[in-house]
């Protein structure tokens, strides 16, 4: 499969995403493409992973996944995948932006026996002016329910409570309580091989524990509107993200650094 091939999105799918702020798409990649790039990503994660504590000695965040950032800068093959026009085109169309720019990528490998990823909204961490942000969550294998696929609270971007919480036991408990008294549908489904989900920065999501003895291998790419403006950071995490993911960008201006290329 060519990574610059267009993925035909229907108006119905775009409308679904705009309403629910998440969408799962089948056959974004074929088995051969995933096997090839998945092997490169796995090799690089193994090489760069410096987590030495055993699972039972880590906090909730540490048990949730092995997290390696900006692999596109470490390997030219992985760069081809992260910069693919196919993913960028889907991201731009779902965000309803005229183009998509990279914020950063991250591999999220949940070890066999790894714990939950608590409820959270990603954009708590991002110093970004608008909500035209989207994360492609790309499993490098099939993910059955017992392996801890991504779960969504459909349409929960409308909730403001909980946006100030980092990923933690507190976010899991407080956001779960809030969602229990709302009508937002909690979506828990397995992922087929080649299926990719897309979710916006303010939609609440989590993942279950990995109850298998296999590694749950997922690559993610976070996109923003190509005209995204850097805002004044509202917490320490946003300040850190500015320094790490868009160094040199100026508050009130379009984020256009060498770390944030336009891919579509």
For position 55, what pLDDT does the model report? Answer: 86
Kindly state whether residue 261 falls inside one of the protein's structural domains: no
Minimum mean pLDDT range among 32-36, 64-68, 219-223 = 64-68
For position 47, what pLDDT does the model report? Answer: 95
For position 63, what pLDDT does the model report? Answer: 81
Q: Given pLDDT bands bounded at 50, 70 and 90, which one contains residue 44?
A: very high
Say whether pLDDT at 2 is over 90. no
Q: Given pLDDT bands bounded at 50, 70 and 90, which one contains residue 61?
A: confident
Tokens of 140: 């490098």
What's the whole-number average pLDDT of the chain? 96
For position 60, what pLDDT does the model report? Answer: 87
Determine the Cα–Cα distance for residues 40 and 79; give it in Å rounded to an integer. 10
Residues with Cβ within 8 Å of 36's Cβ and at least 6 positions away in sequence, in order, are none
Kindly state whether residue 110 falls inside one of the protein's structural domains: yes
Determine the Cα–Cα distance for residues 168 and 161; give it in Å rounded to an integer. 15
Q: Given pLDDT bands bounded at 50, 70 and 90, which one contains residue 162?
A: very high
Domain that holds residue 20: 11-245
The residue-averaged pLDDT of 143-157 equals 98
Cβ(212)–Cβ(147) below 8 Å: yes
Kindly state whether residue 252 falls inside one of the protein's structural domains: no
| φ, ψ at 100 (rounded to 5°) | -120, 135
CA atoms within 13 A on the CB side of 84: 23
Say whether pLDDT at 173 is over 90. yes
Kindly state whether residue 263 falls inside one of the protein's structural domains: no
For position 62, what pLDDT does the model report? Answer: 80
Say whether pLDDT at 185 is over 90. yes
For position 49, what pLDDT does the model report? Answer: 92
The residue-averaged pLDDT of 89-111 equals 98
What total number of domains does the chain contain?
A: 1
For position 184, what pLDDT does the model report? Answer: 95
Determine the Cα–Cα distance for residues 202 and 14; give it in Å rounded to an integer. 17
pLDDT digits (tens, 9 = 90+) for 196-234: 999 999 999 999 999 999 999 999 999 999 999 999 999
For position 143, what pLDDT does the model report? Answer: 98
Kindly state whether residue 264 falls inside one of the protein's structural domains: no
Kindly state whether residue 24 falls inside one of the protein's structural domains: yes
Q: In what order do the strands lie in the sheet with 196-200?
A: 22-25, 196-200, 133-139, 216-225, 100-110, 66-69
CATH classification at residue 94: 2.60.120.620
Kindly state whether residue 23 falls inside one of the protein's structural domains: yes
The residue-averaged pLDDT of 100-114 equals 97
Nearest CA among 133, 117, 132 for reference residue 62: 117
Kindly state whether residue 18 falls inside one of the protein's structural domains: yes
| φ, ψ at 133 (rounded to 5°) | -130, 150
């Amino acid at each position: 499969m060519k990574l610059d091939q267009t993925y035909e999105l229907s108006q119905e799918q775009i409308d679904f995403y705009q309403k629910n702020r998440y969408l799962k798409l089948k056959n974004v990649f074929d088995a051969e493409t995933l096997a090839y790039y998945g092997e490169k990503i796995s090799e690089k994660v193994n090489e760069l992973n410096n987590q030495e504590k055993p699972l039972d000695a880590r906090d909730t965040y540490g048990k949730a996944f092995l997290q390696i950032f900006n692999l596109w800068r470490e390997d030219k093959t992985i760069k081809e995948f992260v910069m693919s026009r196919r993913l960028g085109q889907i991201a731009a169309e779902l965000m309803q932006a005229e183009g998509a720019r990279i914020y950063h990528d991250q591999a999220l490998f949940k070890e066999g026996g790894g714990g939950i990823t608590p409820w959270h909204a990603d954009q708590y961490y991002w110093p970004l002016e608008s909500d035209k942000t989207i994360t492609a969550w790309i499993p490098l294998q099939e993910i059955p329910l017992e392996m801890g696929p991504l779960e969504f609270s459909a349409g929960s971007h409308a909730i403001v409570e909980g946006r100030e919480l980092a990923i933690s036991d507190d976010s899991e408990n407080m956001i779960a309580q809030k969602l229990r008294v709302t009508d937002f549908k909690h979506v828990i489904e397995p992922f087929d091989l080649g299926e990719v989900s897309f979710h916006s920065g303010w939609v609440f999501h989590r993942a279950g524990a990995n109850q298998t003895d296999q590694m749950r291998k997922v690559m993610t790419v976070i996109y923003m509107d190509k005209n995204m403006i850097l805002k004044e950071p509202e917490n320490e995490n946003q300040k850190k993200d500015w320094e790490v993911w868009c160094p040199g960008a100026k508050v009130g201006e379009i984020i256009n650094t060498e770390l944030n290329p336009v891919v579509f």
